[in-house]
């Protein structure tokens, strides 16, 4: 597991928490911010996954 995979997963989890908090608090801005963070984390994790595949030669 490389640093992009780890950082991406952390961002994804943080985003999910913010998104859920936004829903619970009826805060549309917080919900949207969490959604963006979650998706950025998914992209970063995917980039890390791709780097691992290239490194492994798959």
In terms of Cβ atoms closer than 10 Å to its own Cβ (0-12, 13-18, 19+), residue 44 is buried
| pLDDT (mean) for 46-53 | 95
| pLDDT (mean) for 37-49 | 97
Q: Is the pLDDT of residue 32 over 90?
A: yes
Handedness of CA 6, 43, 16, 33 (dihedral sign): positive
| pLDDT (mean) for 15-42 | 98
Measured CA distances, 7 to 1, 11, 20, 55 (Å): 10, 6, 20, 18
Q: Is the pLDDT of residue 52 over 90?
A: yes
- The pLDDT value given to residue 57: 85
- The pLDDT value given to residue 58: 63
Tokens describing residue 50: 């791709």
Which residues fall within 8 angstroms of residue 6, CB to CB, at 6 or more apart? 48
């Amino acid at each position: 597991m490389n640093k992009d995979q780890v950082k991406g997963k952390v961002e994804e989890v943080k985003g999910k928490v913010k998104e859920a908090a936004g829903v619970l608090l009826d805060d549309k801005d917080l919900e949207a911010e969490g959604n963006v963070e979650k998706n950025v984390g998914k992209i970063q994790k995917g980039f890390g996954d791709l780097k691992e595949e290239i490194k492994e030669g798959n």
